[in-house]
Chain A
Amino acid sequence: EVQLVESGGGLVQPGGSLRLSCAASGFTFSSYWMHWVRQAPGKGLVWVSRVNSGGSSTSYADSVKGRFTISRDNAKNTLYLQMNSLRDEDTAVYYCVRHTSSWYGWFDPWGQGTLVTVSS
C-alpha cells in the first residue's frame, strides 16, 4: 500500500523555523517527483513546493521562495520541508503529495497532513 506520513508540525513563533518530514512507503520513492501542498484553516489548497526524483531540481510558490527549502533523502525514503522566517500566514496543514509518473502529473496519494501553527 502506498503511504505518506508527515511529521514535524507544531507551534512556532513568528520568525522561527521548523522542519517537516514525510516518510514514504509502498512505492519506489526515488522514481517520483514529490510536492508539499498547504491548507490554511477553513481555506483551500495551495501548492507550496516541488522536488524532482533525484533532488536536483526544485520549484517554489512565490509566497515561500527564499524562506522554505524542499529536499529529499532517497536512501531514507523521506521528503523534507525546511521552513525559516515563519509568518502568521504560514499557519496551515501541510500535506506531502506524490506526483504521478508523467511530466504532466496529478497528485496522488496525499498524506494525512501535519499542522503548523505560527503564533506568538
Chain B
Amino acid sequence: GEDVEQSLFLSVREGDSSVINCTYTDSSSTYLYWYKQEPGAGLQLLTYIFSNMDMKQDQRLTVLLNKKDKHLSLRIADTQTGDSAIYFCAVEAGNNRKLIWGLGTSLAVNP
C-alpha cells in the first residue's frame, strides 16, 4: 500500500536552516502537505505543494518536490525556538484522495 517515510529527529541551532525530508511511494499523489504539531496541540497546516510544481516558497518556508525520486522536503530558514515541534508530511493518495501520513519529524531548536 501507500507509504510515507520521514526521519524521526532533527536538531539544529537557532538561526540555522532546518531541512526535513519525506519520501513517499504513490506516484499519483496530487497534493503534498506539511503540518506542524506543537505539544498538546492539534495539527496546523503549514504549507502544501501541487504535484505539477517543483518548488514553493512562503516566507521562511521552502518546499521542494522531486517527483522522479518521490522526495519532498521542507526547509525552514532562520530557525527559531518557536519552530520546535513535530512536522508531519502527508500525501494525498488513491482515487478517494485520502491523506497518507508519515510518523513525523521532531525538530529541536537549541539556543
Partners in one complex: no
